[in-house]
Amino acid sequence: MPSSASFCLPLLYLGYVGSSIVFSFAVAALISGRLDAAWARYVRPWVLIAWIFLTLGIAMGSYWAYYTLGWGGFWFWDPVENASLMPWLAGTALLHSAAVMEKREVLKIWTLFLAILTFSLSLLGTFLVRSGVLTSVHSFASDPARGAFILVILTVFIGGSLSLYAWRAPSLSRRSLFAPVSRESALALNNVLLTACCATVLTGTLYPLALEALTGDKISVGAPFFNLTLGPLVVLIVLLMPLGQSLAWKRGDLLGAAQRVTVAALGGLVAALVLTAVIRGGPVLAAIGLGLAVYLIVGSFADVTSRIWARGQPTRVILARAFGLPRSAWGGAIAHAGLGVTLMGLAATGWGVEQIVTVKPGQGINLGPYQATIENLRSRQGPNYSEVLAHTVISRGGAAVATVEPAKRSFTARQTTVTEAGIVTLGFGQIYISLGDQHADGSIDARMFWKPLVTAIWIGAVIMAFGGIVSLSDRRFRIGFARRAARVRPAVNPATSQPAE
């Protein structure tokens, strides 16, 4: 059986390992009783590393499902996916709260809690997936015995760290003050929203188990539930992202921040309106989603732009300023824009075309701007399977633009059939063809999709991870930087240093 273990799991596990380092920092802080801005600075690169791996792992898992499962879906709100999404949500919140803690020494206790939570959710995810307590479309070996072992680890680590937290955290508390309109309060709000998302996914994943254990009643919690509950939260987060980025630390100016994102907001509005007008009668939600995406992408660079660009400045000065900005500012902007790109891909699914057809060779099927024609069917014998391949020509306005060979494999020994979807990338969109049953008259069942902008979903995730890497390259975040800086400092002191030349 093909398994997602081959690609995305190593990345996810690297993410989990990263979160275990952050967890160790948190436990160390609880035991030693020292928790300050320096702690946040030491922890931030590790949080970032874990976050980058989790982001890439989730994206690859999603593409694997899209590529392999053969019905064109890329996210199923499946327990395995939820198990990887929960640490990502908690880790994203941690990334932001650690920034607040480093800059302003507030949200300390909360940041510690998130550090413990992120690792605990990683463990919980591993347990849920590996023990077979919850079943999933991402099939890989589950083993109840190993499940029991992981459960013991889970209890010791989560129970132990939370007890330690309950015991020690109050003594670390320091009054946390911040103005209602400031970068830190915007980030606190971001944390509330991300935590709400995380809690919703956690409850949704475990609720059926808990309810059955308590009352014996069986319910299902699936995609429609998650879409309905998380949708509004995500919209709120997206609306706040550029605004929060444009607010200053300590005492922000809401009007100024709003002015800085005006261009972005207008861009988003125009995009949404133009799309509704051009594609008349199309899905309104998709147009709104795309407008939001444009707002987020443009708005992500509002803060950076306002810091480097000023009317009448020569290009040289602007470039110098751009290079002078801390890399973390660029990284944040890029990562936020990456989410916008992903959102764009998600919104565009609304304009997708799906055709479920029985076709004879030579018969053309319209897929949005393209036409797909299965020219001929042929059989091939593999080592332990036989397969049917459909030679398909994709054309646009009568001219062929690509060919693809979706296949259907029958494993004779196991009596199973696996579809190998035929996928053609055209621009940022994809044609996706998966085969069904063959009929006696030479026709074949097929499911054909035109998915405009679908690749943006995963490209966005890669951009997010790239933003993380840019942030990581910020010299302040380099692991061990603080120590090296301390060693170097005496030489910098003009009183003791010798003239170099």
Partner 1 sequence: MTSLRRIALLSIVLAGLAPSLARAVQPDEVLPDVKLEARARAISAELRCLVCQNESIDDSKAELARDLRLLVRERLKLGESDEQVRAFLVKRYGNFILLKPPLDLETAFLWGMPALVLAAGGIALLFGLRRLRSTPATPLSQAERDRLAAVLEADTLL
| Residue 437 near partner 1 by CB under 8 A | yes
The dihedral built from the CA positions of residue 319, 325, 331 and 336, taken in this order, carries a sign that is: negative
d(CA 424, CA 448): 11
The dihedral built from the CA positions of residue 118, 29, 192 and 167, taken in this order, carries a sign that is: positive
Residues 74-93 that bind partner 1 (CB under 8 A): 76, 78-79
- DSSP character string of 197-261: HHHHHHHHHHHHHHHHHHH-------HHHHHHHHHHHHHHHHHHHHHHHHSPSSS--HHHHHHHT
Report, in Å, the least distance between residue 240 CB and partner 1: 13
Q: Is 158 helix (H, G, I), strand (E, B) or coil?
A: helix
**Residues 294 and 263: beta-carbon distance below 8 Å:** no
Considering only 7, 24, 73, 172, the residue that binds partner 1 (CB under 8 A) is 73
Q: How far is CA 472 from CA 223, 449, 476, in A?
A: 34, 39, 9
Which stretches does DSSP call E strand in 439-492?
A: 444-451
| Residue 418 near partner 1 by CB under 8 A | yes
Considering only 13, 445, 462, 469, the residue that binds partner 1 (CB under 8 A) is 445
Q: How far is CA 350 from CA 281, 287, 319, in A?
A: 12, 8, 40
* DSSP secondary structure code for residue 476 in this structure: G
Q: Which is nearer to partner 1, 31 or 192 (CB)?
A: 192
Q: Which is nearer to partner 1, 381 or 493 (CB)?
A: 493
Q: Which is nearer to partner 1, 162 or 236 (CB)?
A: 236
Q: Which is nearer to partner 1, 136 or 392 (CB)?
A: 136
Contacts with partner 1, 172-211, as mask; x by CB under 8 A: ---xxxxxx----x--xx-xxx-xxx-xx--xx--x---x
Report, in Å, the least distance between residue 80 CB and partner 1: 9
d(CA 287, CA 303): 26
Considering only 225, 428, 466, 481, the residue that binds partner 1 (CB under 8 A) is 225
Which of 396, 398, 403, 408 is closest to 367 using CA atoms?
A: 396
- Site size toward partner 1 (CB under 8 A) is 62
| Residue 108 near partner 1 by CB under 8 A | no
| Residue 144 near partner 1 by CB under 8 A | no
| Residue 105 near partner 1 by CB under 8 A | no
Residues 280-339 that bind partner 1 (CB under 8 A): none
* DSSP secondary structure code for residue 497 in this structure: P
| Residue 386 near partner 1 by CB under 8 A | no
Q: Name the residues that contact partner 1, by CB under 8 A.
A: 71, 73, 76, 78-79, 134-137, 139, 175-180, 185, 188-189, 191-193, 195-197, 199-200, 203-204, 207, 211, 215, 217-225, 228-230, 233, 356-358, 414-419, 434, 436-437, 445, 447, 492-494
